[in-house]
Chains A and B, each alone.
Chain A
Amino acid sequence: MNIVIIGNGITGITCARNVRKLDSNASITVISGETEHFFSRTALMYIYMGHMKFEHTKPYEDWFWKKNRINLIKAYVKSLNSKDKTLHFDNGESIAYDKLIIACGSVPNKFGWPGENLHGVQGLYSIQDLEQMERNTKNISSAVIIGGGLIGIEMAEMLHSRKIEVKMLVRENFYWGNILPREEAQLIGKHISAHGIDLQLNTELKEIISDDQNRVKGVLTNKGEQFECQFVGLTAGVKPNIGFLEKHELETERGILINEYFETSIPHIYAAGDCAQFRNPKPGEPAIEQLWYTGKMQAETLARTICGDKSAYNRGIWFNSAKFFDLEYQTYGQILPEINDQQKSFYWEHPNGKHAFRANYSSKDESISGFNFIGIRFRQIIAEEWIREHKTIGFVIQNLKKGWFDPEFSKAFYNDISHSYLQSLKSGNEE
């Protein structure tokens, strides 16, 4: 069996590794134009900030690939011929496959803003983007970031580490307000501001202004304000990187359309990770999953199918994590910005504004449906078990200590949280 994988990101590589584990005879080839070896995309920011060098972001030493007989080809795929089952590269070479896995990731979103292609304007996704950012931000003093999401805050932290002044234009009322409930969004917004980032809420980009050398010199907002800057970061999300399939018969929409087995519209071709779009996502789940964690889980499932154990994707109980400057964030289960009419929500925040806890639960049977932790580390297996087993909010609050994952000797807040919960019960009864 000759398996060819497009993309050496977390999805492609996890798939290659798992196929190798299940089948020691398969021929496995991974193609990437970005880098020769797998690196951790999530660590790009730390290279810029000088916490790590590129070599530190490679999860496996370079001998690993040969030892595990995973062939690596450094080239961009130009076209796909699914009748001959052949891929053609930009360097003129080609490769045949029995089974093809497309895991080619994303590219930054652009929305047709005037000036979005000026020098000094860019997104951040690939190592090439990072190199460009290094050039674009050399000796500059101020930058504007468009979009208040996770890449946006990473870019802000990166620029901040080089003492570059940063303004963030955020469309919503609060930082990351389309994902976070108001309290968490406000808390994080305050933390970001405390680090000297100028958050411009309720503000959208209207135009990027050019100097006479086709370089950015400022931005104009929908409020008519003009901010001078020498760099603009476009971080309003990412979209599937499927430009090379434009004229192909493979069915695509926003991403490559797949079923729960990662099968595309053409036999023997599979797609997974950022570039894939589920035809029929389960209720409450997104059609395109663009996370490190989901890429990894999708690839593990797909590897089983490839090796003959046909398995449907089940991403299990949702979880995600992030870090906003010094604030760590973990979420388990489902927490939407607003609760619905069958839900209740309990929120606790430390007076110092650096720790917060939220639990959403059913107003009928009090069973828990999701958690947010800020500045608190919590055990994933415990949080998931409680959600899966429909534990009540009362049980959860009483047993928080079980899942507490903060370092030894840290001040623990489970007693404060439980005290605050009992208070809220009391005042609830009095009303």
Chain B
Amino acid sequence: MKDISLSIASPAAASPLQKAGAALTACAILSSIIAAFGAGTSNPLLFFFLITGLFISGGIFYSIPYFKAQAGIKNDGIMQNSLSSRGAIAWGIAILMTGFYIILYWFPYYLEGLIRTMDPLSMMLRNKASDQWFLYGAFYTLAVLIMGMRFIAKYKFSRYHIIRTISVMFFQLGFAFLLPAFLLKLNQPEFYFSYFWPLKYSYLFPNDIDYLIQSGNLGVFMVFWGLVMTFIATPVLTYNFGKRWYCSWVCGCGALAETLGDPYRQNSDKSLKAWKIERWMVHSVLVFITLTTALLWLNSWKSGTILGDASGLFSQWYGFLIGSVFSGVIGTGFYPIMGSRVWCRFGCPMAAILGLFQRFKSKFRITTNGGQCISCGNCSTYCEMGIDVRAYAQKGENIIRASCVGCGVCSSVCPRGVLKLENLEEEGRFIPYIRHEDKK
């Protein structure tokens, strides 16, 4: 079936406020480019306020129509909009974001002027000059806060979404941006309390642990915190709430996906083939990082006599391929083309572990309400993890999938109220609905 006339429809045009929002955001990007070319070095404070001010006001303008509209699903025109349906604008943004990551990781000197605009903030928070990573952190946090506000406006009818979004905004701003900076100011190790092994893989590497322990009492606590979160809190919380407690409530990668990535969530691939690739990839990454960690410990225990530099090389390559290329360049740069959770779905080892718990030992499920599914496909379409939610719902089965991050959007877009995220008794969660008349 061709989409014939259906794809050339004229969607409702953007409102003047949204046009203004887009214009301000474009100005913010222009200011950033001008700053990067050197203007930021001579006038850091001016450009700092210009860039952040324009980004924030752009976001506010863009969100106002959502705040003003009647509460409800706001997906009109998504499939006809070039931005959200892999049109020319989407490709443009994908190239822009991917390019930014490449420059940031491997050619940061091109960003020198832009990095300098963050000096005043960096001095205030960390007592040291800005670098490319501080710039990245500031932009990242700004994106989560601004687009988080837009998300809250768009989904204002749902307290689940509001609370969850405030949570990711809080953890990004507090735990992933301010607290690490503050630790530096106090001459303590820069530590991210909201990231754990294996996502923050180096936190269980021998070198990092040695360094933390030697840095004092707080460092010892950090090691303790990392161990507790990885080996105790993760299984316990995932058993009780599913992996969502982390992936769509705490994690910074999840925070960006849920906020900046929300306009692209429908672009994830729902095919069975994609699911197969996902399982191979994400679990391979998990095996890879577990082996790397084990090798590093073995090597350190034997004082480097077994492997010499080999294990170090292993971890360097992991850092390059997975840590940089996958999670950054592809994971975020490709939002507009492959959906907002490419990294979380295909590459994140933390998601892999949490997923295994969720699938095999957890109280979490998305309950399907009896035989009420009308197979419309909204749930599958808007699943950012590419789960074919409908395939379960239309059979009266609960949705229990390793990859589900519990964002709750399937439940929101369902026009018949068929889906509910909940934590109930573990027993019986796989039993499908059978009509009373059909029971034998």
Residues of B near A377 (CB, < 8 A) are 369, 417, 420
Interface size on B (CB < 8 Å)?
A: 60
Contact of A381 with B370 at beta-carbon distance under 8 Å, contacts A57-B376, A321-B417, A407-B408 already known: yes
Q: Is A401 an interface residue (CB 8 A)?
A: no
Contact with A along B126-165 (1 / 0, CB 8 A): 0000000000000000000000000000000111100100
CB-contact partner of A127 in B1, B411, B435, under 8 A: B1
Known contacts A42-B375, A48-B9, A51-B378, A407 near B412 by CB under 8 Å: yes
Closest partner residue, chain B, to A293 (CB atom): B371
**Size bin of chain A's contact surface:** 35 or more
Q: Which of A97-105, A128-136, A242-250 contacts B (4 or more CB under 8 A)?
A: A128-136
Tell me whether B11 and A380 are in contact (CB under 8 A): no
Residue in A37, A59, A384, A410 whose CB lies within 8 Å of B160 = A410
Query: CB-CB contacts of A46-57 with B at 8 A, as 1s and 0s?
Result: 111111111111
Binds B, one of A216-224, A227-235, A323-331, A417-425: A323-331
Fill in one digit per residue for A89-126: 1 if any B CB lies within 8 Å of its CB, else 0: 00000000000000000000000000000000000000
* Alpha-carbon distance A48/B7, docked complex (angstroms): 9
| Inter-chain residue pair count (beta carbon < 8 A) | 171
Task: Mark each residue of chain B from 1 to 17: 1 if its CB lies under 8 Å from any CB of chain A, else 0.
Answer: 10111110111110000
* A134 contacts B160, C-beta separation under 8 Å: no
Q: Which residues of A contact B377 (CB under 8 A)?
A: 40, 43, 46, 52, 56-59
Distance between Cα atoms of A53 and B377 in the complex (Å): 10
A197 to chain B, nearest CB (A): 12
A161–B74 Cα distance when bound, in Å, is: 10
| CB of B372 closer than 8 Å to a CB of A | yes
Comparing B77-85, B90-98, B323-331, the segment that makes contact with chain A is B77-85
Which B residues are in CB contact (< 8 Å) with A296? 371
Q: In whole angstroms, how far apart are the Cα atoms of A52 and B85 in the complex?
A: 10
Residues of B within 8 A of A408 (CB): 160, 420-422
**Does A379 lie at the interface of the complex (its beta carbon under 8 Å from any beta carbon of B)?**
yes
Q: Residues of B contacting A57 with CB < 8 Å?
A: 376-377
CA distance A336 to B1 in the complex (A): 41
Q: Give the complex CA separation of A245 and B75 in angstroms.
A: 42
Contacts of B13 in A (CB 8 A): 163
Interface of B is mostly: loop
A42, chain B: closest CB distance, angstroms: 4
From B85, B374, B391, contact of A40 by CB (8 A): B374
Q: Which of A309-326 contact B (CB under 8 A)?
A: 314-317, 319, 321-323, 325-326
| Interfacial chain B residues near A48, Cβ < 8 Å | 6, 9
Task: Write out the residue numbers on chain A whose beta carbons fall within 8 Å of the beta carbon of B272.
Answer: 61
Which residues in chain A, 133-151, are within 8 Å of chain B measured between CB atoms? 134-135, 138-139
Cα of A359 to Cα of B411 in the assembled complex, Å = 25
Indicate whether A411 reaches chain B with its CB closer than 8 angstroms.
yes
Q: From residue A76, how far is it (CB to closest CB) to chain B in Å?
A: 16
Beta-carbon contact of A53 and B3 below 8 Å: yes
State whether A54 and B3 are in contact (beta carbons under 8 Å apart), knowing that A292-B374, A405-B369 are contacts in the complex: yes
Chain B residues with CB under 8 Å of A49's CB are 75-77
Decide if A85 is an interface residue (CB 8 Å cutoff): no
In the assembled complex, which residues on chain B have CB atoms less than 8 Å from the CB atom of A131?
4-6
| Cα distance, A57 to B77, chains bound together (Å) | 16
- B103 interface contact, C-beta 8 A: no
Query: Is B415 part of the binding interface, using a Cβ–Cβ cutoff of 8 Å?
Result: yes
Q: Report B-chain residues with C-beta under 8 Å of the C-beta of A40.
A: 374-377
Say yes or no: A50-B411 contact (C-beta < 8 A), given A300-B438, A319-B372.
no
Q: Is the CB of A39 within 8 A of B1?
A: yes
- Which of B81, B376, B421 has the most A CB atoms < 10 Å from its CB? B376
A323 with B438: in contact, given A10-B375, A56-B380, A134-B6 (CB under 8 Å)? no
How far is it, in angstroms, between the C-alpha of A210 and the C-alpha of B9 when the chains are bound? 26
Q: A40-B374, A43-B377, A407-B420 are in contact. List 17 more A-B contacts (CB 8 A).
A: A40-B376, A40-B377, A50-B78, A51-B75, A51-B413, A53-B85, A55-B3, A131-B5, A134-B9, A139-B10, A161-B12, A162-B12, A314-B437, A321-B416, A328-B415, A330-B416, A379-B370
5 cross-chain pairs, A with B, having the tightest CB-CB distances, nearest first: A380-B370, A326-B72, A377-B417, A43-B376, A50-B77
